[in-house]
């Protein structure tokens, strides 16, 4: 095994709710502070099963008990007690699922949350005076509170619930960037960005007459201080960077990027899609101005994403989308926007998905971020050590396994990544092959595409062994014994 980067530069019962008012006896959730979960927890046991906190709290309890044996040592990857929590993995024990960077599997508690929302409290949130609508509204606000705590946000009112990280990043590029960008200004991003954190900035710069500047890593995928100093300066209005690269798996120096751009009066936007599932995130410690992530990569449902932003910046931004529920008032000729976060949440939200996202966060918290991190480090190290025994496999990125957060990209000498992935699929090994929505990075590496194995804490050593045996089959298929 060799590293390619080294060789190329290349809710109270009966409460009434209407827009602009809160249920009696509860904190305002629509135009003021979000409701407290304790209000729901005071319901009697029968009612609790159908209120907003119930599923999320049940998820935490289930996560701690559904697997009969938890590892005393999180780094013990010989087997995974977590797979039984995930129905797809439990139903398909033959599958080595190594594509969690694209989308993670969902634990049963998340699937149960989404189903029970539709079974027990399905109604349009924010619009009704009847109990089901109130409970749907509570589900959204309880989830917002849980997200805020999970990422270290100082206030849930600065958590905007969107469809995915792509929408969140577009929101910032379309609504915030025009307020600070002008001709001759610069936006600085890394060459490692996912297209979702690249194309919006291309368009923002084109619209403003600004310049898009790239940060390039060293031969191991690390952005060095000298590169940051050379590229971030007085003209830099925005730095946008992935917290963790979806191709190299490396953690970018977010705090250092923020310190530099803030020194010049600029702003830091962080794509956290690949960090939230793997490590503890604290937006205040990162000192970023905006932070985005998707729920589906963090064991939650499709169609749910989060944008957190500093309150004063969100307040100053115009809305990205307009329509129902993001207004205070509308006349024939004008409209007054609702306060943050509602002014960025136009239209009917996916209350069931938001509810299930709260359950996903509760599950991760119950497992423990330290357990997740330690287990994934052990999995990545095991994989890289075993790939090193295959001379025809070339890993892309840093040679230190601890610098790969759940992601290992590689190529097999002389064999197209699509062929590799197809043959692995015949061996019940699921990986990703292609450009991974990071074409500029692949071009800089001198690669058209590559293979990517991506881990979550539910994986085990058997998954890696299946990958390695599958790669041997790939090699034999094209080269014989």
- The residues annotated as belonging to the active site are 437
Which residue in the block uniquely carries the two structure tokens 């297209």?
195
End-to-end distance of the chain based on CA atoms, in angstroms?
Answer: 19
DSSP three-state, residue 308:
strand
Q: Which residues contact 168 (CB under 8 A, 6 or more apart)?
A: 160, 162, 290, 292, 293, 305, 306, 307
Rounded-to-5 percentages of helix, strand, coil across the chain = 45, 15, 40
Q: Are 177 and 315 in contact (CB under 8 A)?
A: no
Alpha carbons 189 and 215: distance in angstroms, whole number? 6
- Which sign does the torsion angle of CA 211, 256, 313, 309 carry? positive
Alpha-carbon span 480 to 460, nearest angstrom? 29
C-alpha distances out from residue 154 to 147, 284, 318, 358, 359, Å: 11, 8, 22, 18, 21
- Tokens representing 38 are 């304790």
DSSP letter string over 344-408? G--S---HHHHHHHHHHHHHHHHH-HHHHHHHHHHHHHHHHHHHTT-TTEEEES-S-GGG-SSEE
């Amino acid at each position: 095994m060799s590293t390619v980067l080294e060789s190329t530069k290349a809710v109270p019962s009966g409460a009434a709710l209407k827009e602009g008012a809160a249920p009696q006896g509860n904190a305002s959730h629509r135009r003021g502070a979000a409701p407290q979960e304790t209000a729901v927890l005071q319901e009697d046991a029968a009612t609790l099963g159908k209120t907003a906190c119930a599923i999320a709290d049940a998820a935490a309890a289930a996560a701690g008990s559904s697997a009969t044996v938890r590892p005393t040592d999180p780094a013990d990857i010989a087997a995974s007690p977590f797979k039984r929590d995930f129905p797809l993995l439990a139903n398909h024990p033959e599958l080595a699922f190594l594509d969690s960077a694209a989308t993670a599997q969902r634990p049963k508690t998340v699937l149960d949350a989404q189903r029970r929302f539709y079974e027990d409290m399905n109604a349009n949130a924010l619009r009704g005076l009847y109990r089901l609508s109130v409970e749907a509204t509570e589900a959204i606000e309880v989830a917002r509170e849980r997200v805020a705590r999970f990422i270290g946000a100082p206030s849930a009112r600065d958590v905007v619930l969107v469809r995915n990280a792509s929408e969140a990043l577009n929101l910032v590029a379309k609504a915030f960037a025009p307020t600070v960008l002008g001709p001759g200004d610069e936006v600085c991003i890394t060459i490692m960005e996912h297209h979702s954190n690249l194309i919006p900035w291309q368009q923002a710069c084109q619209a403003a007459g600004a310049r898009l500047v790239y940060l390039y890593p060293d031969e191991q995928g690390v952005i060095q201080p000298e590169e940051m100093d050379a590229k971030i300066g007085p003209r830099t209005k925005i730095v946008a960077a992935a917290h963790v690269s979806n191709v190299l798996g490396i953690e970018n120096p977010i705090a250092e990027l923020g310190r530099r751009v803030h020194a010049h009066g600029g702003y830091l936007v962080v794509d956290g899609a690949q960090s939230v599932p793997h490590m503890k995130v604290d937006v205040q410690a990162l000192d970023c101005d905006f932070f985005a992530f998707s729920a589906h990569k963090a064991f939650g449902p499709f169609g749910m994403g989060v944008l957190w932003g500093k309150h004063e910046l969100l307040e100053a931004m115009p809305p990205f989308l307009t329509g129902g529920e993001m207004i205070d008032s509308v006349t024939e000729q004008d409209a007054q926007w609702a306060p943050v976060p509602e002014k960025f949440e136009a239209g009917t939200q996916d209350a069931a998905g938001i509810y299930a996202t709260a359950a996903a966060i509760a599950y991760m918290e119950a497992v423990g971020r330290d357990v997740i991190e330690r287990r994934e480090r052990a999995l990545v190290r095991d994989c890289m050590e075993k790939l090193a025994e295959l001379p025809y496999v070339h890993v892309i990125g840093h040679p230190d396994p601890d610098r790969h957060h759940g992601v290992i990209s590689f190529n097999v000498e002389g064999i197209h990544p699509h062929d590799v992935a197809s043959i692995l699929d015949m061996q019940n090994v699921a990986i990703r092959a292609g450009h991974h929505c990071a074409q500029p990075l692949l071009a800089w590496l001198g690669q058209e595409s590559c293979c990517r194995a991506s881990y979550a804490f539910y994986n085990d050593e058997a998954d890696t062994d299946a990958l390695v045996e599958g790669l041997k089959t790939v090699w034999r298929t094209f080269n014989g014994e």
